[in-house]
């Protein structure tokens, strides 16, 4: 069973920005890329760096600690094939951003 959980308001997160959100016992990095929202596990699978503070590009985020780069859509690591972080489905309803847990 999966739940849609509200985690943010659309107008809290400007295009090109990311933020870290605590939801239940998880830390989720939420990004707004030109109005499209992506949610990934915040904890980098390399050494645990905060992806929510990473450098955002149109389809990836780069960890601020050692520059591993992850695809926003899949969580796949670009420069270390086979490594990945978890992603969450995002649903936007009006001004509410929800993720599926």
Closer by beta carbon to ligand FES, 12 or else 53: 53
Tell how strand 87-88 and strand 36-41 pair up: antiparallel
Q: Judged by CB under 6 A, does residue 48 bind ligand FES? A: yes
Q: Judged by CB under 6 A, does residue 84 bind ligand FES? A: no
Residue of 15, 16, 17, 47 that binds ligand FES (CB under 6 A): 47
Closer by beta carbon to ligand FES, 19 or else 46: 46
Residue of 9, 22, 55, 66 that binds ligand FES (CB under 6 A): 66
Length of the chain: 101
Residue of 29, 39, 44, 98 that binds ligand FES (CB under 6 A): 44
Residue with tokens 């670009």: 78
E strands, the chain, are 4-9, 17-23, 26-33, 36-41, 55-56, 60-62, 69-71, 87-88, 90-93, 96-100
Angstrom distance (rounded) from CA 37 to CA 41: 14
Give the binding site for ligand FES (CB under 6 A).
44, 46-49, 63, 65-66, 68
């Amino acid at each position: 069973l999966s739940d849609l959980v509200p985690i943010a308001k659309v107008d809290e997160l400007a295009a090109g920005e990311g933020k870290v959100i605590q939801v239940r016992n998880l830390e989720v990095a939420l990004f707004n890329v030109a109005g499209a929202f992506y949610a990934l596990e915040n904890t980098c699978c390399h050494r645990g760096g905060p992806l929510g503070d990473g450098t955002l590009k149109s389809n990836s985020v780069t960890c601020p600690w050692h520059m591993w780069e992850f695809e926003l859509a899949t969580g796949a690591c670009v420069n270390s094939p086979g490594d990945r972080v978890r992603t969450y489905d995002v649903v936007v309803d009006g001004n509410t951003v929800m993720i599926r847990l």
